[in-house]
Structure 1
């Protein structure tokens, strides 16, 4: 056996030390959440692959798909401002763990729905449980060092992509083996079990809000008017760039929601792509996100968030014709580009918001932002379904350009990126599970 040189011995510890330093933030709450996402996301994408076709099989139409999506977004919006207030008032942990179990139970309505109306009931129950979303966003931002937020949010995208990559393929196999309705019902049963497991994992979370008071349910109910006032007035307490970023989020969510209800219908029924081929195309999205997550995170941390955001919006506009005139290979390319756009957009936007918003306002800012983006999504869902059934099957796609182009101008002229110094996460190492 050949002996290693002293130089080689020195290089190995150096490389290992660098890797450890690069990913040292993956501990404590971030690690707990990462494990829960791995379980949740693997199951969640299974029924989502053929959701639109499932609704049609239960007696719905494109307009009904849009209506269910709109009602879901509306109820999610209603609970976001109270959710943000509660996260900043009573803490993040209890909301996240409790409502994860609630989402698990809501899957019963999806799995055993005899008609599309029961899907609506499930959507309402699930949406109310999303009151924990501001708490989740706040605990993530609290747990990431300021100079690792680009990488941190890219890691989140990577985890989601890794766990969801096999899901469309599994959905396609179940579709071939059992048919549309039975395979989707099995998918929702998997989701129920996965969220129960994730809820147990999330009981290991540590609170990041300092000395939260004991929960008073009477005071909590009476605090809703205060929550609404504070979640609106909070925009006067944060930099104007944060409000400009919020405006682009509203525009983007509204535009994406116009085509999302009808995407699988357009691809399968209008473009003639077989259902199993659609599962393969969808898988390419997650594969591209796996490959691109770490490089995008490093670019965002090294070169800033603003330029990657602008690039992501430009990529989205360039992708639209590939969907409208798609065949199997154009759709594969489109999904790879969408993967690049999603990784860049989600990581840069979330990291920039965390940079701009102080910890004490993150719950309220997230709640307020979620409220208005979900209202925009509710309107978009209704418009998308109606346009597809009554006006044009391609117009929902072309409208993306109308809404996304202003986002580029807003970010370029009105978002000023703060200078970020290396810092520790705002939660101590003792918060490790």
Structure 2
């Protein structure tokens, strides 16, 4: 999109200026994106605790994380095909309806409870799996297109700042959602009652956003593309992936695998393993409400750090910024699981965790930068397809380690399964990814 600013200048506040300029489609899509981001962030980070309260074991919660990884891996391709083939308006409406229904299914899990079907007794937490397939539908469109648009609109040596401008706006939902959930939880007697209220608010957000985007979105500019060409198209895109991306892909997969092993257990560590609430400044928060505050602190640091780190990347290169984000991903699990049960320590740790997002714009620039001008979307889709597919089993492995009770005597040193081992193994895998990237990672030429 052309602007009146100096050529090559990218402002992290561009997204907000477009929003307040009330350009119709920008306004509609921005409101929709924000609403669904709020709804999903209010609910998704608390779902493992919800499942635990409904009777799910650590292994089941880990399996839930892996199913989420599976959906993230397989949804973008068919989601993009639907959008290209049927038009953005229909796709947006369909994805919005499915996501809102998913929030409703999550709500019913506690209302209906376990269900008996003939000789089978279906546990209440099974509803969470069903709802997950629906609720994540809104995330299945636009990933490759977003990357390609930024690449086409921003000079190569400013890609990191270009992605920073989009990330800052998107992350506002990540900030407000958990804080809103924390407020609702703090206002109720117990977690289950509070989370049911959170889910009702999420359903409201989804319903309003779906109706608004269907009625207000101008579909006159939509174009219908050709149908998906099949598996051969995916294989061709993978073969044509730029060679400079391969070290990044290996390292990123290791780091994300490590994070995926324990990500779903962060809420349980705060609310159950450490059981830390917050007292001070006139507040007395239960651990579940405090977790929402911790997520808010994490996202404040993320939002404040992305633009400065992206600007610094223009002088120091993309690789150091990406390495910074990877290192935070790797170290945070070990620091969290061995942290003292102290509210101030947890606040500092989650503030530190926010720095993992600081390298995200540089990371995206490093992915799409080497792609040809007309292949940014395909390169992005191929990259994420490989990474997300390989990461699928991570949460199941982490859940098995977290909930197991076996021990192995290694000549006087006893290796005990449990939360500490799961989080320590995650950090070890993440550290391997960081080391691989530092040694073999390639810089994008305009930043050298």
TM-score exceeds 0.5:
yes
Contact 1:107 1:191 in 2 (8 A): yes
Give the counterpart of 1:126 among 103, 128, 135.
135
- Equivalent residue, structure 2, for 1:312: 325
- Equivalent residue, structure 2, for 1:282: 295
Q: Is 1:170 the equivalent of 2:180?
A: yes
Correspondences of 1:229-378 after superposition (within 5 Å): 229-274=232-277, 275=287, 276-326=289-339, 327-344=342-359, 346-378=360-392
- Equivalent residue, structure 1, for 2:121: none
Contact 2:262 2:333 in 1 (8 A): no
Correspondences of 1:21-36 after superposition (within 5 Å): 22-23=10-11, 26=15, 27=18, 33-36=29-32
Q: Is 1:415 the equivalent of 2:442?
A: yes
Higher strand proportion:
2
Residues 229 and 347 of structure 1: CA distance in aligned 2, closer, same or farther (over 3 Å): same
- Equivalent residue, structure 2, for 1:228: 231
Residues 315 and 378 of structure 1: CA distance in aligned 2, closer, same or farther (over 3 Å): closer
Number of paired residues? Answer: 395
SS in structure 1 at match of 2:369: helix
Extract unaligned runs of 5+ from structure 2: 113-123, 278-286, 405-416
| Displacement after TM superposition at 1:228 (Å) | 2.1
User: In structure 2, how many angstroms separate the alpha carbons of the residues matched to 1:84 and 1:60?
Assistant: 34
Q: Is 1:388 the equivalent of 2:402?
A: yes
| Displacement after TM superposition at 1:374 (Å) | 2.8
SS in structure 2 at match of 1:356: coil
User: In structure 1, how many angstroms separate the alpha carbons of the residues matched to 2:149 and 2:41?
Assistant: 22
Contact 1:74 1:378 in 2 (8 A): yes
| Displacement after TM superposition at 1:64 (Å) | 1.7
User: In structure 2, how many angstroms separate the alpha carbons of the residues matched to 1:304 and 1:93?
Assistant: 39
| Displacement after TM superposition at 1:285 (Å) | 0.5
Contact 1:41 1:163 in 2 (8 A): yes
Contact 1:250 1:373 in 2 (8 A): yes
| Displacement after TM superposition at 1:240 (Å) | 0.6
Residues 182 and 288 of structure 1: CA distance in aligned 2, closer, same or farther (over 3 Å): same
Residues 22 and 154 of structure 1: CA distance in aligned 2, closer, same or farther (over 3 Å): closer
Higher helix proportion:
1
| Displacement after TM superposition at 1:382 (Å) | 0.7
- Equivalent residue, structure 1, for 2:103: 107
User: In structure 2, how many angstroms separate the alpha carbons of the residues matched to 1:205 and 1:306?
Assistant: 40
Extract unaligned runs of 5+ from structure 1: 1-15, 422-433
1:22-75: per-residue Cα shift (whole Å, max 9, x none)?
438544777765443333333332223532221122221222212222223223
Contact 2:151 2:369 in 1 (8 A): no
- Equivalent residue, structure 1, for 2:198: 187
Residues 117 and 320 of structure 1: CA distance in aligned 2, closer, same or farther (over 3 Å): closer
Contact 1:85 1:364 in 2 (8 A): no
Residues 193 and 260 of structure 1: CA distance in aligned 2, closer, same or farther (over 3 Å): same
- Report the TM-score, using the length of structure 1 for normalisation: 0.78
User: In structure 2, how many angstroms separate the alpha carbons of the residues matched to 1:135 and 1:104?
Assistant: 24
Contact 1:93 1:135 in 2 (8 A): no
Structure with the bigger RCO (C-alpha within 8 Å, sep 6+) is: 1
Contact 1:85 1:231 in 2 (8 A): no
Residues 100 and 419 of structure 1: CA distance in aligned 2, closer, same or farther (over 3 Å): farther
User: In structure 1, how many angstroms separate the alpha carbons of the residues matched to 2:312 and 2:202?
Assistant: 34
More deviation, 285-294/168-177: 168-177
User: In structure 2, how many angstroms separate the alpha carbons of the residues matched to 1:104 and 1:157?
Assistant: 24
Q: Is 1:80 the equivalent of 2:83?
A: no
Residues 116 and 349 of structure 1: CA distance in aligned 2, closer, same or farther (over 3 Å): same
